[in-house]
Structure 1
Amino acid sequence: MEKHKTYTVSEAIQRLESYCAYQERCHKEVKQKLWDMRMIPEASDQVIHHLLQHNFLNETRFSQAFARGKFRTKKWGKNRIIRELKFREISSFNIKIALQEISESDYYQTFDQLSEKRLSQLTSEENIQRKRKKFADYLLYRGWDSSMVYEKVKELIKY
């Protein structure tokens, strides 16, 4: 039988302070980390309380950083960002605040750039229907608004 390392509350606090200092974390990730460390619920609550008190753990800050990062680096649309934040059990209040990190002008500009880039990748596709489907699927998967996507399909890929 393999032996698992056990942690005192102060060791767990120390480990999770550096875990949270390395990058923003949500409560769900921290709880999972504590569970992986085999901490009992009472000790976990104590650690989480400490992290919240000392501002290592802040769900609003996490959701804002998440939205900014995924939008800028992965070019995700708002729908995908919302879906991923909900998966991480972020409150709708914090999701709303997070989406304010993305300016309208940046949002539309990024959408246009991404559309142009995707269209240029589809030059080998001869079948117009398939080309339109691939184009739309690509943008929808990344969480862009369906009305924006279908508008762009009509604009860029004509029969």
Structure 2
Amino acid sequence: MEEQSNSKRTYTPRQAKLKAESYCAYQERSQQEIRDKLYAWGLHHDDVENIISELILDNFLNEERFAKAYAQGKLRMKGWGKVKIKHHLKGKRVSEPLIRIALNNIDPDEYMQIFEDNMAKKAGKDISKLTVMEKNKLIRHLLSKGFESELVYGRVLGGFHNLQQKL
């Protein structure tokens, strides 16, 4: 019987670069995602950094383009708010200035429409007719989706929250 090895296949730097180009062409990727993938393919630090540099030069990898696409995608497809998008971009080691650019790139009208859609879907009825428990549940839901607390409390609780902040 043949013995199967549990180790992953390793690639030469040239093979890895071609595979990484294909991986980047499929969808936008962060530098950290590519770095992790290259290390998983058995490459060493110098090879990984050289390949990343080449991918950037060949425009397969662009961190700003990734951040913008990621923010738009998560907003439109998953209905995430800016807080959650920012948190996940930080997890992908995108720089703070690029995160700001990506979040500023979001259309405010579209953002508010998605917020309102999330709220209406979860509430199921007019907010003014919700009980305190239902409002708390709605607030937790909207905060977990990553919408800003000022936006959530201001919209769900109305003027009450603003009054409470002043006290």
TM-score (norm 2): 0.84
Partner residue of 1:6? 10
Q: Does 1:45 align with 2:49?
A: yes
Equivalent residue in structure 2 for 1:55, among 41, 54, 59? 59
Distance 1:4 1:69, change over 3 A: closer
**In 2, Cα distance between the equivalents of 1:144 and 1:130?**
19
2:133 matched residue in structure 1: 130
Alignment match, 2:70: 66
* 1:76 shift after superposition: 0.8
Q: Distance in 1 between matches of 2:20 and 2:101?
A: 26
Residue 75 (structure 1) aligned with residue 79 (structure 2): yes
Equivalent residue, structure 1, for 2:123 = 119
4+ long deviations beyond 6 Å: none
Question: Percent identity at matched positions?
Answer: 37
RMSD: 1.9
Q: Which moved more, 1:104-113 or 1:31-40?
A: 104-113
Deviation at 1:4, TM superposition (A): 4.0
Equivalent residue letter for 2:131:
I
Structure 1 unaligned segments of length 5 or more: list them: 122-126
Aligned residues: 152
Q: Distance in 2 between matches of 1:53 and 1:119?
A: 48
CA pair 4-79 structure 1, distance change in 2 beyond 3 A: closer
Q: Which runs of 5+ in 2 are unaligned?
A: 159-167
State the TM-score, normalizing by the size of structure 1: 0.88
Summarize the Cα distance change of 1:3–1:154 in structure 2 as closer, same or farther, 3 Å threshold: closer
Structure 1 position 147 matched with structure 2 position 150: yes
- The structure whose RCO (Cα within 8 Å, separation 6+) is larger is 1
Alpha-carbon shift at residue 141 of structure 1 (Å): 0.5
